[in-house]
A = this chain, B = another copy of it.
Amino acid sequence: MSKITFMGAGSTVFAKNVLGDVMLTEALQGFELALYDINEERLRDSERLLNSMRQSLGSQCTVKAYTDRKAALKGAKYVINAIQVGGYDPCTITDFEIPKKYGLRQTIADTLGIGGVFRNLRTIPVMLDFAKDMQEVCPDAWFFNYTNPMAVLTNVMNTVGGIKTVGLCHSVQTCVSGLFDALGMDQDGLKTKIAGINHMAWLLEVSRDGVDLYPEIKRRAAEKQKETHHDMVRYELMQRFGYYVTESSEHSAEYHPYFIKKNYPELIERFNIPLDEYPRRCIEQIKGWSDMREKLFASQHIEHVRSLEYASYMLEAMETNKPYKIGGNVMNTGLITNLPSEACVEVPCLVDASGITPTYVGDLPPQLAALNRTNINTQLLTIEAAVTGKKEHIYHAAMLDPHTAAELSMDDIVAMCDDLIEAHGNWLPAYK
């Protein structure tokens, strides 16, 4: 029997979506859906809910919860990963509050920046433990990583962990439709091409019948920038660098040195930048979950309509050999020729029975490659820190972060890193 293992299955809503999709997919009937989480209470919630849904949907899949990680992974053909290490409380709070003392403000802190660096440092050891288990009990399984920071974790699983890993993110999928909806443009018959790095991939081409639509997009976007809206940073980046980026304004604001600047406090309002956005979302999500939980468990029927989430379509393509195309995160084996080969990149991938095969992109426009490289710098140094266990590389990662370096002196960056290391305590391994 084939088996799909879901790591972090206590994320009930996400597990419900992804595994609900699986239950609705003809080619995946008969699979065991193995659930694993370190939080047993939430694991049992998910098990209960998924079993209800299975019955409601009449699916031939089976659902089984595991408290033993290796048992959960044993014999898996696919592993879906959606863990979070350290949670909102205490780790996310730490990631935001300590930098704030140094005057360094953030919005999401799950990708790059000082928050992204520490989120990586506490997640990498856990993921490498998964990899070690997998080498023993399911070395050939495909690992679908949904956990952020995407680029670094996918990189580490592939290179250090030695596990066939693809990183999956919604930002590629929704990039074009979001833009066209916002600008009131017709989406029929579009030809598009997206590549770069996760959360900073670029809409390299958007045309219809051979006609480049960027001039019209930019004209409408310029008009829209005259009023306040929720994607002002992203539109500004497009006007300045020529291409639309996959990640939202609240994320993008902290990937660059241009928006959150002590010297220019007015930019926060001008670009409508929601500082401390992620902690707010966490609090709401926690509150929202307890409401939803009650409702879900009260209902007899758990309905589900197959979503647009990549996972079930990929699994279907891999089982049926009917090709499917995704924007996936993979190692840069010469795919984007002007980004470092040690980087993890987000490129079109072909999915079918042969697995997930990345396609060749070539050179990015030079300004886009340059922007990507500023972020890759911090990614690679974070990996260096995690792999060598040397504290100095944590400082390097932080000092190379464009936003951190713009705002703080080297002394303050180092002091802030030391404070963060201390505050995280056992959430981090010992650094020398």
Contacts and interface: CB of A to CB of B under 8 A. Distances in A.
Interface of A: 77, 140, 190-193, 205, 210, 236, 240-242, 256-258, 261-264, 267, 321, 323-325, 333-335, 337-338, 340, 342, 348, 350, 352-354, 357-360, 362, 366-367, 370-371, 373-374, 377-378, 380-381, 384, 392-393, 395-396, 399-400, 402, 405-410, 414
- What is the copy number of this chain in the assembly? 4
Contacts of A352: 325
Contact of A402 (B210, B335, B392, B405): B405
A359 B352 CA distance: 12
Given A381-B367, A396-B370, A409-B261, A350 B350 contact: yes
A410 B77 CA distance: 41
Contacts of A357: 348, 359-360
A402 B402 CA distance: 8
Contact of A333 (B193, B360, B380, B393): B360
A240 B354 contact: no
A372 to B, nearest CB: 10
Given A380-B370, A384-B366, A409 B264 contact: yes
Contacts of A406: 257, 405-407
Given A190-B353, A242-B392, A263-B407, 5 more contacts: A77-B210, A191-B354, A333-B334, A367-B384, A406-B407
Contacts of A348: 350, 354, 357
Contact of A263 (B262, B325, B360): B262
A354 B367 CA distance: 22
A239 to B, nearest CB: 9
